[in-house]
Amino acid sequence: MATVRALKHHGGCPKAELGSENLSALEAGLPNLLQHVANITEVYGLPCVVAVNRFPTDTEAELELVENRCRALGVNVALSEVWAKGGEGGVALAEEVIRLCDAPNHFTFSYELDASIEDKLAAIVTKVYHGDGVVLTPTAQKQAAELTELGFGSLPICMAKTQYSFSDNAALLGAPRGFTITVRNIKVSAGAGFLVALTGDIMTMPGLPKVPAAEKVDVDENGRISGLF
């Protein structure tokens, strides 16, 4: 899923101008999307379709540029216009997803499952994010050793990282290079069957606001609940 607005943001377009046509900013931001596409098809071996969530301010020239750049990588593009047209606006996307689900794939991880936790993290950072490497804090190093000793070292890894950048710095946009990612904690989700590597100041779900709605919920002496809505 991509938007023209987000890609222009990655290309350096000021937020106040995202609603105006800017092909140069879009071109500059497209490497972000194309890296995601390449990760899916080349790193993970999966078929891919790019869903462009269309905004009223998107121009035909901008949409054509996104489509052409994606098709150059061998993937299809489908407009999602559900917001404007309801279910009809998502038919083309749904049909392409169904077609790809029926197609063969060659899914693989970006690492060998029997590799060490440190090596798996390094593979993710270098192959998927295109960074220079990973740095584990002393706490994370200790946790990796303990988890390996407890028999969890062969589990796949889920990265808890900012969604705004390939790096762990939300302000580093586009498809950056020359960075490292710092893992501050590693924990196991044994029931789900994977390890979670936490970077930056990211929180795992549930992500709550500073004043969650739960603080307004109460139950009186008669069992009547208030504050739900």
pLDDT digits 0-9 by tens, 43-56: 999 999 999 999 99
pLDDT at 211: 87
Instruction: Give yes or no: residues 97 and 14 share one domain.
Output: yes
143 and 68, same domain (yes or no):
no
**Would you say residue 144 lies in a domain?**
yes
Task: Please name the amino acid found at residue 112.
Answer: E
- The domain in which residue 150 lies consists of 117-199
What's the whole-model pTM score?
0.85
Asked if the structure places residue 224 within a domain, the reply is no
Residues 84 and 169 in one domain: no
Do 121 and 94 lie in one domain? The reply is no
**β-pair partners for 185:** 198
Q: What is the CATH number of the domain that holds 136?
A: 3.10.410.10
- Residue carrying structure tokens 């499952």: 113
53 in the same domain as 13:
yes
Residue 86's pLDDT is 92
Strand segments (E) across 67-156: 76-80, 133-136
Q: How many structural domains comprise the chain? A: 2
Domain membership flag for residue 37: yes
23 occurs within a structural domain: yes
pLDDT digits (tens, 9 = 90+) for 82-108: 988 999 999 999 999 999 999 899 999
End-to-end Cα spacing for the chain: 32
Length of the chain: 229
- Nearest C-alpha neighbor of 186 from the set 146, 133, 226, 154: 146
- Asked if residue 59 is part of any domain, the answer here is yes
With a cut of 90, say whether residue 213 has pLDDT above it: no
